[in-house]
Amino acid sequence: MLLRQILWLNLLLLMLALQSTSQQARRPHPCQEPVQLEAVATPTPRQRQQTKKARPTMEQQRKRGGERGEKRRVFRLEPFANVSCRIETLTLRQRFPASVIATSIFCILPSMPAASKKPGFRGVDGFTDYYVKYGQSEPPTCEPRDLPYFKERGSFHEGEIMEHPGDFNTFRITSEEKRAEERLHSDKVETLREAAEIHRQVRHYAQSLIRPGVKLADLCEKLENKNRQLVGEDGLNRGIAFPTGCSLNHIAAHYTPNPGDDTVLTKDDICKIDFGTQINGYIVDCAFTVAFDPKYDPIIAAVKAATNEGIKTAGIDVRLGDVGAAIQEVMESYEIEVDGEMKPIKCIRNLNGHSIDPYKIHAGKSVPIVKSGDTTKMEEGEVFAIETFATTGRGSVIENYDCSHYMKNFDAPRVPLRLQSSKRLLNHINKTFGTLAWCLRWLERDDGGSKAVHGNTGKQTGYRAALRTLCDAGIVEPYPPLCDVPKSITAQYEHTIVLRPTCKEVLSRGDDY
Where in the sequence numbering do the catalytic residues fall? 274, 285, 354, 362, 387, 494
How far apart CA 488 and CA 349 sit, in angstroms, is: 15
Alpha carbon dihedral 329, 333, 334, 335, in 10-degree steps, equals 120
Q: For residue 447, what are the CA distances in angstroms to 113, 289, 461?
A: 37, 30, 12
Tell me how far apart the alpha carbons of residues 349 and 391 are, in angstroms, rounded to a whole number.
10
Which long-range CB contacts under 8 A does 326-331 form with residues at least 24 apart? 327/368, 327/369, 327/370, 327/388, 328/369, 328/370, 328/371, 330/302, 330/305, 330/306, 331/302, 331/303, 331/305, 331/306, 331/369, 331/388, 331/390
List Cβ neighbours of 97 (8 Å cut-off, separation of 6 or more).
5, 42
Candidates 343, 311, 345, 315; CA nearest to 326 is 311
Provide the 8-state DSSP code for 30: G
Helix (H, G, I), strand (E, B) or coil at 197: helix
Give the number of other CB atoms < 10 A from CB of residue 398: 12
